[in-house]
Amino acid sequence: MPAAVERPQAIARQRLHPLSPVLKSVRTLFLVVAAVSWRGLQNLGPDLYALVLLGLLVLVLLYSAVAWRFTGYEVVGRELRIHEGVLFRRTRAVPLERLQAIEVVQPVLARLAGLAELKLDVAGSGKAEAPLAFLPLAEADVLRTRLLALASRTSAATAETAPAATEPDAAQPEQADLYRVDNNEVMVSQFLTPPVMFTPLAILYIIGQLAFNSDFGVFAVASMVTAVAGTIGAPVMRILNFWNFRIGRAADERLRIRHGLLETRSQVVAPQRIQSLTVTWPLLWRGKGWLRVTLAVAGQSSVNADGRQSRAETDRLLPVATVDTARALVPLALPGLDINALPLSPVPHRARWLAPLRRRVLAAGLTEHAFATVDGLTTRQLTVVPYARIQSVRVTEGPWQRRLGLATVYVDVAGATPAAAVHRPLAEAFAWADDLTTRARAARAEV
Amino acid sequence: MTEPRLEAPRHTAARSALDPWPGEVTWRPVSPRLVALELTRVSISTAIMLAVCGVIWAFTGSSWALVAAVAVLVLTVVRGVVAVRAARSYGYAERERDLLVRHGRMVRHLSIVPYARMQYVDVVAGPLERSFGLATVQLHTAAAASDATIPGLEPAEAARLRDRLAALGEDAGEGL
């Protein structure tokens, strides 16, 4: 074990911003204030009420002052340590070599105070863990650059310990954005989703019920209104989230993705951390010729192990784009990949018994650097997994497939659903499985 | 970085997921006691279901309970056949750079897990497995979908496999 003993502190222990405990407890504070105000104003009278509020405020400030003294972060050897907590003291150690990507997030309140939060995506954990909250925005950006530089240095497994002061990236001026997604397109694209398309019908239905059906109770109306608000909610959140979507380059060929209207997010992803890339053509976007491109970065999965969507969507490379834009920008994430010229082969004609309609869509192929599959009749999806990122390969052969001499090849990747080449001829499936393992090994050896 | 024995069979027709590269890979079977273990599992669940049927019959006297009992017995036969075939179908092969695991009769599965991708190896043995002197080895990669579980191993073989896999994983490991 190359122990971290002789390694000096790369970043000495520093405190988080003094406002962080306040910002973190602000939600509880609101609840407490609301609870006190409910009856308090009448029972106590304005003077006493003000006094109680003042007392609360002093308590919170005191707590924050104490909590602040315990907060801090430092980099010791190969790990980042985050200290937190007053009663339950917690020190979280994040091994830097497992750091996949760092996101700088500014929630609305923190943004007002000019603060930001660092979200560290660590390989092996299902969700983005270990938030470092809060730091001044500029400091957060600098820290991110330094952490990423340290991470790539430790993962290179060299014992060099360059002085942290001479970080070249930290001083480097920010590069201009390469591409900016049109906000109007974001808006239109989110309105071209099934929930929004059907909302007018639902509203008409409610109005109709109100006008003609006297039995229609208030509660029914209320519940339907909340339902409508719920369906509208997701697209609206996405519009807010993908507003001002910009892609740029950061140091070391890394991608910098920034977006958000109220809560801004800025993400730096190293291309070698990208596990898979998915291009999706939703049915309703086809008229516009639009697609979206998502990335799977280990540790920051938006898909759980059980395949369900979770967390805010921070996995977009392009929330909405035309094919030409995607062709121009996808190579930033996976160099040398042209999504329009993939050597895909269709499934054999006999697959029609198992997938009568999907047969025309299904395709898969081995490109120079990646494995690519296409699936989905209405929402077409292209999944690309670079050979170097393949974790394991599986072949399954169901009873009906066996009768037809077909098999499905799965390519498993970290933090994403496996890429599946469905209904391939059996011989081809095994040839591919063999080829994939060989190419994956060669690609790993290169890196 | 090519493995000569991988090259040859690439374009020959493979027969099934249980033996994709005939003659190229030496498959190791799992312990035959796995069949007995699976049958015991089936009979335990049958016994429980029959007991439920019996209790219902004792209290209500409904003849439906007897019908259900017959259905349970028929189901047991089917499940027993499936379990025996599934248990017999398990096999694994340690190749130079990856582990192959195959299983399933109806739906045939073949997993290829490179040693370099292994994150950790589990050896699990439940009470029933222990009473049969068996253990299960599970390989985990960074991908949740990776499926390499070998049940029905003798404890010695399980330990050997675990140590070997762990050693190979350390040699070749680069995580992600």
Q: Tell whether ipTM is more than 0.90.
A: no
* A437 contacts B114? CB cut-off 8 A: yes
Q: Tell me the CA distances in angstroms from B79 to B75, B87, B108, one per residue in order.
A: 6, 12, 17
Sole residue written with tokens 């979908």 = B145
Does B74 fall in a domain? yes
Task: Determine the residue of chain B that is closest to A398 in CA distance.
Answer: B107
Local mean pLDDT, 10-residue blocks, chain A (447 residues)? 49 83 77 72 76 84 83 84 78 78 86 87 58 86 87 53 39 69 90 81 79 71 77 84 90 85 86 89 91 80 41 76 92 88 91 91 92 92 93 92 92 88 92 92 82
Asked whether A394 and A440 are in contact (CB, 8 A), the reply is no
Q: Over 60: is that where the pLDDT of B7 sits?
A: no
What residue numbers bound the domain in which B42 lies? Answer: 34-86
The 8-class DSSP code of residue A99 comes to: E
Distance in angstroms (rounded) separating the CA atoms of residues A260 and A139: 20
Asked whether A315 and A419 are in contact (CB, 8 A), the reply is no
Test the B interface: residue of A154, A394, A439 with most B CBs within 10 Å: A394
How much is the pLDDT for A224?
Answer: 76
Helix axes A183-191, A194-212, angle to 10 degrees: 60
Distance in angstroms (rounded) separating the CA atoms of residues A106 and A189: 25
- Coil, strand, or helix at residue A313? coil
Q: Tell me the CA distances in angstroms from A212 to A64, A204, A218, A227, A350, one per residue in order.
A: 57, 12, 14, 21, 55
Q: Tell me the CA distances in angstroms from A144 to A31, A250, A427, B160, one per residue in order.
A: 33, 11, 48, 44
What mean pLDDT do residues B147-174 have? Answer: 82
Does B135 fall in a domain? no
Asked whether B46 and B39 are in contact (CB, 8 A), the reply is no
How much is the pLDDT for B16?
Answer: 57
* B110 contacts A394? CB cut-off 8 A: yes
How much is the pLDDT for A366?
Answer: 93
Does B77 fall in a domain? yes
Asked whether A18 and A10 are in contact (CB, 8 A), the reply is no
Does B49 fall in a domain? yes
Measure CB to CB from residue A395 to each of B2, B17, B116 and give the nearest one. B17
For residue A101, the chain B residues in CB contact (below 8 A) are none
Structure tokens at A287: 């008229």
Buried b / exposed e along A362-375 (16+ C-beta atoms within 10 A): bbbbbbebbbbbbb
Does B73 fall in a domain? yes
How much is the pLDDT for A124?
Answer: 55
DSSP for chain B, please give it: ---HHHHGGGGSPP-BTTBSSTTTS-PEE--THHHHHHHHHHHHHHHHHHHHHHHHHHHH--HHHHHHHHHHHHHHHHHHHHHHHHHHH-EEEE-SSEEEEEE-SSSEEEEEEEGGGEEEEEEE--HHHHHTT-EEEEEEESSTT--EEEEEE-HHHHHHHHHHHHHHHHHH----
Amino acid identity for residue B133 in this structure? G
How much is the pLDDT for A8?
Answer: 56
Cα A45–Cα A46–Cα A49 angle in degrees, nearest 5:
85
Does B152 fall in a domain? no
Chain segment A306-324, per-residue pLDDT in tens: 344 444 466 889 999 999 9
> How far away is chain B from the Cα of A297, in angstroms, using its nearest Cα?
11
* A123 contacts B175? CB cut-off 8 A: yes
Does B141 fall in a domain? no
Question: What percentage of chain B reaches a pLDDT higher than 90?
Answer: 39
Does B57 fall in a domain? yes
Buried b / exposed e along A4-20 (16+ C-beta atoms within 10 A): eeebeebbeeeebbebb
* A445 contacts B1? CB cut-off 8 A: yes
Helix axes A218-242, A194-212, angle to 10 degrees: 160
How much is the pLDDT for A63?
Answer: 82
Closest CA to B99 of A186, A232, A437: A437
Structure tokens at A110: 């923190």
How much is the pLDDT for A327?
Answer: 92
How much is the pLDDT for A90?
Answer: 76
Chain segment B56-75, per-residue pLDDT in tens: 888 888 888 889 999 999 99
Total domain count, chain B:
1
Asked whether B56 and B41 are in contact (CB, 8 A), the reply is no
* A440 contacts B114? CB cut-off 8 A: yes
